[in-house]
A and B are shown apart, each in its own frame.
Chain A
């Protein structure tokens, strides 16, 4: 069976290549791995993103916190890396180590010094391709935190961390033409996917035509 089938072009990126794209993205834009309120991240830079502290409506000082994420690694279906949650059909699996710090005030009401309390946690998740008109990204649909009790605490934290992890991935949009090694252009016209992108055989694949 041909690669292109009824289309003019087939492009496939193996999970090793996708992880290379991920490495290049987070090397260039590390702030997507580091979020913190002003106590931890005074201002947004290339290396870190400043986010608002949690306000208590003026009733008490704001709650400052910081989240640092390791650069993620993605496993495209079928399972290759043996992640805790293997990818299902047309899914990817992801595992991310996260370090969370919370700024804690002293026990006395007069003690306004903040001390950082740190913990680390490993996210195990799975997700789907987020299809765009000219590019695609990755959206985590489910995160599981192991060994968190009670279960509903684990679920609540998983929901929180899933949203943070999706913020981490939000900037990673890979153009179709990058997967197609820029083979389009004036010679072939504009590349327009007709099927996919989908996850199959450890690849992100799409087929398309040139307009």
Chain B
């Protein structure tokens, strides 16, 4: 029989999860990835809050409808030569009687590479995932962590639509600064709109946000292995402590689901 047995109900377990989410705080990732043919450089931060906690035997905590709040900043380059044909304005000559013709030079336009961004967007997305309970002992503390089992699918179409609006506006602003773009603006806009569709943005954004979920782990219980029971109460009454050994956590179901922690006690 274990020396100590502690059981908490789903309400208390929910609060332990909340505390773990708070402890996790904001996570930051950065990297490069492509939207269609365009390479982007991005930085993202995210945190997780809320969700309904459901305890499942033998060692699973399901957190449904957590909110992942994220902020994303990204930029990319567009080489307009890839989407618009280079062209030349031909020489125009003005004949002068009895004199050599006066001619304008031939002007050739090589489309430049334009910088788009930085574009910043904040939003949130629902996340539901199963988390496995893991118990470990480091040099000083017992830790009960929850680790995500699989990366869940994310519904990002609504978020992607918002990002498309921002990209479209940024691209339009960048194009306006390009000399001679006038006759070609509609063509450029049409080609770029086809590239930055919902599927493309979702395909780009999904792996970025999934980085925050891959291996997601946070603590729900962390306490020193050596626990003071009573503090010192004078020169002849020193503190006394016990050491927790063999701590383990699991879920048991009866008429309600409970998170169970068991431990043995040893001399400190």
Contact = CB atoms under 8 A, between A and B. Distances in A.
A20 B263 contact: no
Contacts of B130: none
A9 interface: yes
Given A4-B256, A8-B12, A29-B240, A181 B227 contact: yes
Contacts of A3: 5, 7, 258, 260
A17 interface: yes
A181 B223 contact: yes
Nearest to A182: B223
Interface stretch (B13-21, B46-54, B61-69, B197-205): B13-21
Contact of B8 (A1, A49, A174, A183): A183
Contacts of A188: 8, 12, 15-16, 19
A187 B18 contact: yes
Sorting the interface of chain B by its residue count into under 10, 10 to 19, 20 to 34 or 35 or more gives 35 or more
B15 A181 contact: no
Interface string A193-209: 00000000011000000
Contacts of B227: 178, 181-182
B267 A11 contact: no
Given A2-B7, A181-B4, A29 B237 contact: yes
Among the interface residues A17, A173, A174, A203, which one has the most CB atoms of the partner chain B within 10 A?
Answer: A17
Contact of A179 (B4, B239, B268): B4
Given A20-B3, A21-B229, A9 B12 contact: yes
B8 A27 contact: no
Question: For the complex, would chain B's binding face be called helix, strand, loop or mixed by DSSP majority?
Answer: strand
Contacts of A16: 1, 3
Nearest to A49: B236
Contacts of A173: 230
A182 B8 CA distance: 13
Contacts of A31: 236-237
Interface in B139-167: none
Interface of B: 1-9, 11-12, 15-16, 18-19, 221, 223, 227, 229-230, 235-242, 244, 247, 254-256, 258, 260-261, 263-268
6 contacts: A11-B5, A24-B268, A29-B238, A178-B227, A188-B15, A202-B1
**What are the nearest 6 A-B pairs in CB distance?**
A17-B3, A187-B19, A28-B240, A3-B7, A20-B265, A10-B7
Given A182-B223, A202-B1, 20 more contacts: A1-B254, A8-B8, A8-B12, A10-B6, A10-B7, A17-B4, A21-B229, A21-B265, A28-B240, A28-B241, A29-B237, A31-B237, A46-B235, A174-B229, A178-B229, A181-B6, A181-B244, A183-B8, A188-B12, A188-B15
